[in-house]
Amino acid sequence: MSRPARWWLLSDLHLGMSDDDPRRPGTVLPGFLRREVLVASGLQRHVVFVGDTFELAGLDEDGSLARLESILVRHPDTYRALEACAAHGVQLHFVCGNHDVELARPAVAARLSALLSPAETTRVKVHPWFLHVPRVLVAEHGHQHHALHRIPEVLRAAVNGTDELDLPPLAAWHAHPSRSRLSRAGAVARACLASERAERRVREPGYGELLQTESLRLALDEVAVRDLARLSRFRTVSALPRTATRMVLAAAGRPTSGDKAPAAAGRFVRTLETHGSGVAWYVSAHTHRALESTLEGGSARYINTGTWSSDVRGRGPDQSDRRVFPYAVVDVAADGATSGGLRFWRPDGS
């Protein structure tokens, strides 16, 4: 029998250098942490930020360090609330997303830990790829299954920093908005070629060594980790036409995804089950669409934690009311049984 635990999971705050988002996630988050997390007692407490917590994308190591510190200074209430959580024994987890993959750099991860929990830096953990809690849950941002955001060699960020990683195609398009469309299209073409090369390197022995090391950190079988790394793959011939179709549908006001779990989520969970490492919950983010549903062909429950920013997509109370914020909660009883699901929080407590 172990001590009961509670996991709170939320995502896509997109905290940046300004606080001009109408939903003001950096202003709302402290209330959530104080009134939902810090008041809980008698539990092991974990708060998981499932990616895109910060806007760091595209910066080198020095720039990422400076930007991270500036963001926390720009959001002092959030800074103090996170410090209070760590000081009161709450374990903070940051899963890297496509907007804050720079957190995977050892120097940036260490700075985040030192800023939020100087007395006990282990209270803050960064997960470059995904978080795995054996038999309970996995949490990944989800961009690794989205071709134009995928970073095939994501683990190199945690070893060598992201300076050696090429921008994914969509990031290459947005990296230089002031350039001509022809110039930006050229950048995307080069990024597509780089992604194709990176996909081949993921299958080479050198990357296999990184996967082996990651399997120890994740407490997963080495073969399972290798299979998970190869679940999704960037292919130019399929990625660009699919993206063009989605853009046309979006421009016409037609939804591009329904109210069900993505196929990649099912593949991920079934891979874990195949290797005897099944979990009760699979949590992801990235789409800004809060959702809870069943997973076809697996026993796990799917949750997407949506977004706390104003870029809300899909149906739900957070779409019609800006004062509603989605999150997931997973409770683990002393005997290992789990319960929970998607929740919505309002600052006024209603």
Q: Which helix (H) or strand (E) holds 294?
A: strand 291-294
How confident is the prediction for the chain on average, in pLDDT? 88
Identify the pLDDT of residue 267: 93
Q: What distance in Å separates the CA atoms of residue 211 and residue 222, rounded to the nearest whole number?
A: 7
| pLDDT tens per residue, range 223-250 | 999 999 988 877 776 666 665 555 544 5
Closest C-alpha among 50, 54, 130 to residue 305: 50
Q: At what angle do helices 222-229 and 205-218 cross, to 10 degrees?
A: 120
Residues 69-128: tens digit of each pLDDT: 999 999 999 999 999 999 999 999 999 999 998 899 899 999 999 999 999 999 999 999
Helices (H), the chain: 25-32, 61-74, 76-87, 106-116, 156-160, 169-175, 181-201, 205-218, 222-229, 236-251, 263-274, 317-320
Instruction: Enter the pTM of the model.
Output: 0.91
* CA neighbor of 233 nearest in space, from 274, 206, 260, 264: 264
List of domains in the chain: 5-163+257-345 (3.60.21.10)
pLDDT of residue 193: 80
Nearest by Cα to 324 from 308, 337, 340, 336: 308
Tokens standing for residue 237? 């011939």
